[in-house]
Amino acid sequence: MNRTFVLMVMLLAGTSLAAQGVLDKVVARVGEESIFATDVKAAIGLGIVELGSARDPESAAITGLIDRRLMLREILRGSSPEPDQAAVDEEVGRMKSYAATTLKAVMDSSGIDEQLLRRIARDTLRIQLYLDTRFPHVDVNDDEAQQYYRANPSAFSRNGVLMTFAQAAPSAHELAARDRRSGRINQWLAGLARRTEVTRTEAPAAPSR
C-alpha cells in the first residue's frame, strides 16, 4: 500500500500527528486513537497547543493534545467549514516561526512534511472557527468586571501598585469575558471526555488548564 495514502488515512481518522514509521511510545488514548511521544514533541516544538506557564510542558502538551483530539472528533461529526488557503498559509507560517531554528529537527523527528503541516494547520483553524461560532465573545457587565478585578489583583498591579478599577476597567472587562468563555469551553470539553474513554500512561504532574 502506498505510504502517502496510509499517512493520509491516519490523519483523516484523527490519529497521530507523526508518521508512525518507527516504534513510538503511546502517552495517551482518546477512544481508539493513540497519542504518541513524537506528537508531544511536535506539539511543543511547533506551538500546536498552548502551554502557558505550565511547570511540566510535556504533561501540559498531552492534555492539550487530548483536548484537541476530543474537539476534532466532535467537530468532524458534522459539516466542518473548510478554512481558506490564506488562513492556512498564515497558520503554517506561525508554526514555522514558532519553531524557528529548530523547525527542521522538529519536523524530521516527528515525521511531518509540508503536506502534514498544512493538515495540522487546517485542523487548528477548524477548531478556532468552531469555538468562535459556538462560544462567541460576550462582554460582561461592570459588576462582573469588578468581581474579576477584586479576585485577581496581580493582573492589575504595575510595579507592585494596584491600579484603580477605573484605570483597570477595560482590561477587567476583557479578561473577565475571556475567563467566562474559557470556563464554558472547559465545561464542554469535560462533557466530551465523559462520553469518550480517555486514558494516559502517566498522571499529569499538575493541572494544566
pLDDT per residue over 68-99, tens digit each? 999 999 998 877 778 999 999 999 999 999 99
Q: Is the dihedral of CA 179, 180, 181, 184 positive or negative?
A: positive
Burial code of 120-134, b = ≥16 C-beta within 10 A, e = fewer?
Answer: bbbbbbbbebbbeee
What percent of the chain has pLDDT above 90?
77
Mean pLDDT of the chain: 87
From 3-7, 61-65, 120-124, 185-189, the region with the lowest mean pLDDT: 3-7
Q: What is the pLDDT of residue 208?
A: 46
Q: What is the pLDDT of residue 105?
A: 95
> pLDDT by residue (tens digit) across 8-25?
334 434 444 444 444 579
Give which of 194, 197, 37 is closest to 110, Cα–Cα: 37
**Is the pLDDT assigned to residue 136 strictly greater than 90?**
yes
State the maximum Cα–Cα separation within the chain, in Å, rounded to a whole number. Answer: 66
Domains of the chain are 3-136+189-200 (1.10.4030)
**How far is 119 from 68, CA to CA, in rounded Å?**
14
Q: What is the pLDDT of residue 202?
A: 65
Q: If residue 26 lies in a helix (H) or strand (E), which one and from where to where?
A: strand 26-30
**0.75 cut: is pTM over it?**
yes
Averaged pLDDT, 129-142: 94
